[in-house]
Amino acid sequence: MSKPSFDVRPDSLVWDHFRRHALEMPEREAVVHVEVDRPPYRWRWGELLRAGSTVARRLANEGVREGEVCALIIRHHPFFYPVYLGISALGALPAVLAYPNARLHADKFREGLRGMAERSGLDHILTEHDLEAQVRPLVGTSATTVKDVLFPLEWLADPSSW
């Protein structure tokens, strides 16, 4: 059986598509984030790209490099989108993992994450402070590839900094 082949063009990457839309229609709605009991959060293309660029700069300053795997473990949050885009902008690889919840037992979450950190090449964990105690032990041990734990939602807390 032959390997499937496809051509990855530079303009076919997620970041490039979003950047093109932001340049062509910066005020147009890009993403509508919906949560129960809250009004929808509406991202415009230009705003989303600026926020994603902020995340990309900060990730680069924190040592994230092209080709590295970033586990993204955050709850359903309107800032998920620029964090995902910021990872993509660097050429790093976002790996969206389930945030622990009532359906995912805490021990199962910890063991699954440990297994990925030991065998799957996770380089960085991007999460919320609530999980720090669970994920921090994975950093800097000889058994894992995890280099650090980062808290990107905080980087976006002040929209005037985008």
pLDDT band at 142 (very low <50, low <70, confident <90, very high): confident
- How does pLDDT run across 75-134, given as a tens digit for each residue? 999 999 999 999 999 999 999 998 888 787 778 888 888 888 888 889 999 999 999 998
In a domain, 104, yes or no: yes
pLDDT at 9: 55
In a domain, 1, yes or no: no
- The Cα–Cα gap between 139 and 144 comes to 7
The domain that contains 126 carries what CATH number?
Answer: 3.40.50.12780
In a domain, 131, yes or no: yes
In a domain, 2, yes or no: no
Domain extent, residue 19, equals: 10-161
Strand partners, 43: 31
Total tally of structural domains belonging to the chain: 1
DSSP single-letter state for residue 157:
S
Residues 6+ apart with CB under 8 A from 121: 69, 145
Residues 6+ apart with CB under 8 A from 91: 66, 67
- The Cα–Cα gap between 141 and 133 comes to 15
In a domain, 5, yes or no: no
In a domain, 4, yes or no: no
pLDDT at 107: 80
In a domain, 105, yes or no: yes
Question: Which H helix or E strand runs over 114?
Answer: helix 106-119
In a domain, 125, yes or no: yes
pLDDT at 67: 93
